[in-house]
Amino acid sequence: MKDRCDYDCNVIRSLYVCAKGLVVTAVVLCVQRGLLDYSTPVRKYWFEYGQYGKENTTVADMVSTSCCIAIPFELVLNLTAIVHILEQRKPEWSPGTAYGYHG
């Protein structure tokens, strides 16, 4: 077993866990300022998202990880592809009925 990991400027590491805290903080600030509402469907803010069984997904569902849409790891740096997947893919379960987390 190696005692250490080698990192350099060419190593890509997933920062999902770190990024989620920042995103949730931004969402909370937007809610406090009246820019977002937890109970409002996401489609009010992002019209293209509200299709394929995601029409009633709320902001709270998004923040609580209860709307499962898997993103392949190899696309993690491709924002355009991620947006397209989120808009076009059906969720793994009905939003708000179960919880999931990335790994």
Task: DSSP for 83-100, please give it.
Answer: HHHHHHSPPSS-TTS---
How is residue 73 written in tokens?
A: 């790891």
- Distance, CA of 12 to CA of 1 (rounded, Å): 21
Residues near 30 by beta carbon (within 8 Å), at least 6 away in sequence: 36
Alpha helices (H) in the chain, listed in sequence order: 16-32, 59-63, 79-88
pLDDT digits (tens, 9 = 90+) for 5-61: 666 666 666 565 677 788 889 999 999 999 999 999 999 999 999 999 899 999 998
Residue 2 · residue 10 · CB < 8 Å: no
pLDDT digits (tens, 9 = 90+) for 68-79: 777 777 887 888
**pTM, full prediction:** 0.74
